[in-house]
Chains A and B, each alone.
Chain A
Amino acid sequence: MAAAPEQDLEQDEILIVKVEEDFCWEEEPSLEVEDPSPETFRQLFRLFCYQEVAGPREALSRLWELCCRWLRPELRTKEQILELLVLEQFLMVLPGEIQARVREQQPESGEEAVVLVEGLQQEPRKQRQRVRWGAF
């Protein structure tokens, strides 16, 4: 940012101030600024509101775009795509506190999530009592 000149100006002089070009306006959130995690894209897909677009065709198109940003079919195999879906569903069916603690660890696969849950199961009883475990 150009500093204010301190010299006195003659009456007819025009002060030309060079404005540096490396200033930044506050950037609006954009999906292209950083590389959001798959979880971010998953939430965008699941939280999409029908009212955001003009009609059903636009809704379908937008959902397709969001789904592809989450699942990246151009990069992943069918098995990997199903793994992400299974992981999503697995996390959703976990009991409340267990679910929260496992989500904090951001598992990237169903196997990883299972290991986290099993780890919580093996915690000392005092710690586990904090966690409601309906079935066990």
Chain B
Amino acid sequence: MAEEPEVILIPPSGLPPESLDEDTVEDLENTPQRNPPNPATSRQRFRKFCYEDAAGPRDVLRHLQELAGQWLRPDIHTKEQIVEMLVQEQFQAVLPEELRAQAQRCQPGVRITG
């Protein structure tokens, strides 16, 4: 009988997904700012932003608003596209570890229509 690969199941935490990539915040901050950050980088910046990085709660809110806008780009995306980005993020977060790696290598987005 062929052995099935071991699947490691991580129960959801109820929290927004942390970054799924291995870049550190320092790596992100050292990235040249000549070009707009790609969505993956923007998402990481949004999710990894620390309270202590800002001067107070209002500054934290302003930063998060800015980072969310850089990630989700409401200026060019429709509401449906924004929801899809959020669904994709959560989908990646709940996938079993072995499937997540496969999914990240594939073309992004399994569109569910209707």
Contacts and interface: CB of A to CB of B under 8 A. Distances in A.
Interface of A: 43, 45-51, 56-57, 59-61, 63-64, 67-68, 71, 73, 76-79, 81-82, 85-86, 88-90, 92-95, 110-111, 113-114, 117-118, 121, 134-136
Nearest to A114: B57
Interface of B: 9, 11-16, 46-47, 49-52, 56-58, 60-61, 64-65, 68-69, 72, 74, 77-80, 82-84, 86-87, 90-91, 94-96, 99, 103, 110, 112
A57 B74 contact: no
Contact of A49 (B56, B82, B94): B94
B104 to A, nearest CB: 13
Contact of B58 (A49, A76, A118): A118
Contacts, number: 119
B53 to A, nearest CB: 9
29 contacts: A49-B94, A50-B94, A51-B9, A56-B95, A56-B99, A60-B112, A67-B86, A67-B87, A68-B83, A73-B83, A77-B79, A78-B82, A81-B82, A81-B83, A82-B68, A82-B74, A82-B82, A85-B68, A89-B46, A89-B64, A90-B57, A92-B15, A93-B60, A95-B51, A110-B64, A114-B60, A117-B57, A118-B57, A135-B51
